[in-house]
């Protein structure tokens, strides 16, 4: 199995707070890995560091064999490593479909002034539209294409946020709490879509989540973070037997 994302001994502090303390994470191609940890344990910081939003204080990050440590976010994005935000970063005044179309432009850093006058622009637009519609179908929100994003339910916003990340040619998606604020039925649907995307598009996922009980059936491998340190990791069966994890997450 190929390692797609390789995080080696990454640390990040904010003032006196050590948000990440020599964290090592490896995610193999087509794996769905889960990272759990209490509030403030460093989960979002890890995504921010991996996606180039913060530079790590120490450590290295490799994606697809390439050193991406401290590359700017748009370059990491272009390499196919895409993140979502804990709070969906949607354009609430735009429709569902427009949110996908805008995602592809913003992310490619296109110039709105120059682009419309070239022949390739029309072809790109057609391809983007086609792709956006396929993504909406895949996530089963195609019937909502013309609805303003502000009218979506919390769960539908999460799906649209995932949809936006698919507008790039992502190889791997880092999901920051994709089911927070979502009811359990929709949460299971969202995880089912994630597995579907893995199987159909060959994508790899690192999912950050609080709700271990909901996420566990869908993942292959689990990392547990506390106070910026990895306290345990392994196949889910092993992690579920870990007494620290049981007392912290499974109410046992
Ligand atoms: N930009 C920042 N400036 C200062 N401190 C920060 C910053 N980002 C994170 N921190 C601190 O780093 C620690 C880890 O925060 P982080 O957001 O990564 O936790 P988390 O595991 O994602 O928590 P949650 O489950 O609440 O989303 C916290 O103590 C937080 O206050
Ligand atoms: Mg967070």
**Top-confidence residue, 173 or 154:** 173
Q: Whose CA is nearest to atom 9 of ligand 1?
A: 45
DSSP category for residue 55: -
By most ligand atoms within 8 Å of CB, the mutation choice from 41, 86, 248 for ligand 1 is 41
**Ion ligand 2 residue ranges (Cβ < 5 Å):** 43-44
List, in sequence order, the alpha helices (H) in the chain: 43-50, 73-78, 96-108, 119-138, 154-166, 184-201, 212-215, 236-241, 243-249
Q: pLDDT confidence of 43, banded at 50, 70, 90?
A: very high
Residue 252 has a pLDDT of 43
Atom of ligand 1 nearest to the CA of 37: 21
**Ligand 1 site, residue 16, Cβ cutoff 6 A:** no
| pTM recorded for the entire structure | 0.87
Beta-bridge partners for 175: 207
Nearest to 154 by CA among 77, 211, 87, 54: 87
Q: Return the CATH class of domain 3-94+155-249.
A: alpha beta
Residue 121 has a pLDDT of 62
Atom of ligand 1 nearest to the CA of 46: 18
Instruction: Decide if pLDDT at 64 tops 80.
Output: yes
Atom of ligand 1 nearest to the CA of 38: 25
Q: Minimum-distance ligand to the CA of 211?
A: 1
Average pLDDT on 15-21 reads 96
**Ligand 1 site, residue 37, Cβ cutoff 6 A:** yes
The predicted-structure confidence for 91-130, as pLDDT tens digits, reads as follows 888 999 999 998 776 555 555 555 555 566 667 788 889 9
**Ligand 1 site, residue 11, Cβ cutoff 6 A:** no
Distance 112 CA to ligand 1 centre (A): 35
**Top-confidence residue, 211 or 144:** 144
Instruction: Decide if pLDDT at 167 tops 80.
Output: yes
Q: pLDDT confidence of 84, banded at 50, 70, 90?
A: confident
Distance 206 CA to ligand 1 centre (A): 18
What is the average pLDDT score of the chain?
87
Residue 126 has a pLDDT of 83
**Top-confidence residue, 246 or 197:** 197
How far, in Å, CA of 72 to CA of 50, rounded?
A: 10
What angle separates helix 119-138 from helix 184-201, to the nearest 10 degrees? 130
What angle separates helix 154-166 from helix 184-201, to the nearest 10 degrees? 10
Q: Are strands 58-63 and 204-208 parallel, antiparallel or unpaired?
A: unpaired
**Ligand 1 site, residue 87, Cβ cutoff 6 A:** no
Instruction: Decide if pLDDT at 21 tops 50.
Output: yes
């Amino acid at each position: 199995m190929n390692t797609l994302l390789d995080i080696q001994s990454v640390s990040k502090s904010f003032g006196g707070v050590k948000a990440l303390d020599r964290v090592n994470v490896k995610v193999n191609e087509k794996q769905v890995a889960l990272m759990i940890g209490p509030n403030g344990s460093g989960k979002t910081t890890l995504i921010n560091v991996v996606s180039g939003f913060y530079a790590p204080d120490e450590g290295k990050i490799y994606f697809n064999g390439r050193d991406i440590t401290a590359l700017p976010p748009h370059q990491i994005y272009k390499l196919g490593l895409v993140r979502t935000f804990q709070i969906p970063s949607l354009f609430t005044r735009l429709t569902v479909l427009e949110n996908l179309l805008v995602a592809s432009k913003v992310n490619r850093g296109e110039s709105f002034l120059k682009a419309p006058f070239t022949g390739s622009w029309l072809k790109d637009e057609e391809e983007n539209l086609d792709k956006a519609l396929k993504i909406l179908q895949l996530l089963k929100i195609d019937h909502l294409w013309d609805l303003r994003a502000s009218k979506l339910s919390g769960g539908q916003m999460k799906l649209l946020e995932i949809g936006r990340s698919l507008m790039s040619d992502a190889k791997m998606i880092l999901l920051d709490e994709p089911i927070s604020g979502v009811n359990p039925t929709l949460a299971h649907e969202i995880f089912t879509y994630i597995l579907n995307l893995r199987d159909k598009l060959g994508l790899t996922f690192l999912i950050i989540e609080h709700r271990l009980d909901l996420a566990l059936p869908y993942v292959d491998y689990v990392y547990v973070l506390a106070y910026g340190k990895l306290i345990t990791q392994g196949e889910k069966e092993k992690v579920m037997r870990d007494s620290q994890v049981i007392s912290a997450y499974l109410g046992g």
